[in-house]
């Protein structure tokens, strides 16, 4: 067993997948000798060389476009976008090409590729280094979207994503890169299915649903609720497309109260979809309307990012509202 952070887990998983499958290549800006802006590809260049760890030009369109072409021709590219905020120049390649290949070809071709992107705020990065664009990709048919919050989940989900036959957007909560450690077995080869949520703690009074960078604050809120004799059932979605409707709906139907936490902007954010599904499917079980705690519909602020993020106090206030309803 070794203690690993999320970013260490990414590097180790990439190493193991590359060692087992020569079709797996890593590409992106400074992923080679530098090891990536966050060192998620550290040491891979020395081990696998420039043909499999490819430093690219500063062009996200070229990175994703090249990955699409490589995937169609039998490779398993893992492309890194330095920050999720920079993905937009490559947006067309991702949503118009990668996502559509299986459908355009009548199933003859697909694009088995992963696009990794560090996302989210809380690192003082301002509006060009802190955004959460997951809703764009969840809204695009043909893409799968993953957003873990722990090293173990990152490991199992990244392995599954690399082996998937279709394109996967793999979002990584960069403020948790080195903030969370877990013991991971040396010989662990677990595959976590995409679309399977994880219950982080059992509870009976309110359901808290979150993912990615907001999971830490959600668990802190659950700890405080426990001190107040309120039992929180906490669900980490881990995967947003597909997402685990049954785990969420069963918990909400049992408990009757739910608070949905995401740092992405509020309007048309992913939690709006979760809220609508709950309302459609288990309305008669609800003891209070679903409550969302999210970021705001503004450009991500540089000076007040901690106020922008849904911290424990905002989550506790929402829980109080559903308890008092």
**Residues assigned a catalytic role:** 129
| Contact (Cβ atoms closer than 8 angstroms) between residue 224 and residue 206 | no
In the block, residue with structure tokens 């060009």: 128
94-122 as b/e: b if 16+ CB within 10 A = bbebbbbbbeeeeeeebbbbbbbbbbbbb
| Cα R_g (the chain), whole angstroms | 19
Rounded to 5 degrees, what angle do the CA atoms 277, 280, 281 make? Answer: 85
Euclidean distance between CA atoms 131 and 299, whole angstroms: 9
37: which 2 tokens?
Answer: 């802006």
Backbone dihedral region for residue 268 (phi beyond 0: left; psi -120 to 50: alpha; all else: beta) = left
Running DSSP on this structure, what letter comes out for residue 264?
S
| Contact (Cβ atoms closer than 8 angstroms) between residue 71 and residue 113 | yes
């Amino acid at each position: 067993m070794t203690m690993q952070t999320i970013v260490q887990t990414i590097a180790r998983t990439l190493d193991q997948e590359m060692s087992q499958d020569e079709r797996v290549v890593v590409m992106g800006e400074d992923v080679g000798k530098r090891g990536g802006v966050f060192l998620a590809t550290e040491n891979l260049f020395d081990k696998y060389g420039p043909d499999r760890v490819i430093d690219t030009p500063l062009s996200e369109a070229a990175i994703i476009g090249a990955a699409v072409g490589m995937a169609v021709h039998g490779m398993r590219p893992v492309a890194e976008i330095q920050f999720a905020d920079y993905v937009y120049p490559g947006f067309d390649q991702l949503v118009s090409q990668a996502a559509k290949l299986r459908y355009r070809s009548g199933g003859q071709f697909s694009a088995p590729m992963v696009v990794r992107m560090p996302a989210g705020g809380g690192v003082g990065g301002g509006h060009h280094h802190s955004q959460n664009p997951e809703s764009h990709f969840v809204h695009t048919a043909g893409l799968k979207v993953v957003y873990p919050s722990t090293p173990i989940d990152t490991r199992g989900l990244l392995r599954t994503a690399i082996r998937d036959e279709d394109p996967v957007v793999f979002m990584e909560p960069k403020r948790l890169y080195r903030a969370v450690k877990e013991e991971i077995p040396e010989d662990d080869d677990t595959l976590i299915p995409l679309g399977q949520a994880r219950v982080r703690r059992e509870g009976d009074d309110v359901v808290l649903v979150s993912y990615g960078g907001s999971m830490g604050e959600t668990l802190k809120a659950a700890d405080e609720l426990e001190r107040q004799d309120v039992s929180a059932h906490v669900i980490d979605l881990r995967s947003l497309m597909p997402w685990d409707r049954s785990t969420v709906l069963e918990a909400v139907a049992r408990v009757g109260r739910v608070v949905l936490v995401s740092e992405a902007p509020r309007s048309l954010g992913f939690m709006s979809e979760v809220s609508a599904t709950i309302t459609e499917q288990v309305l008669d079980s609800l003891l209070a309307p679903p409550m969302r705690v999210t970021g705001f519909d503004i450009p991500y602020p540089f000076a007040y990012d901690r106020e922008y993020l849904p911290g424990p106090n905002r989550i506790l206030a929402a829980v109080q509202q559903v308890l008092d309803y």
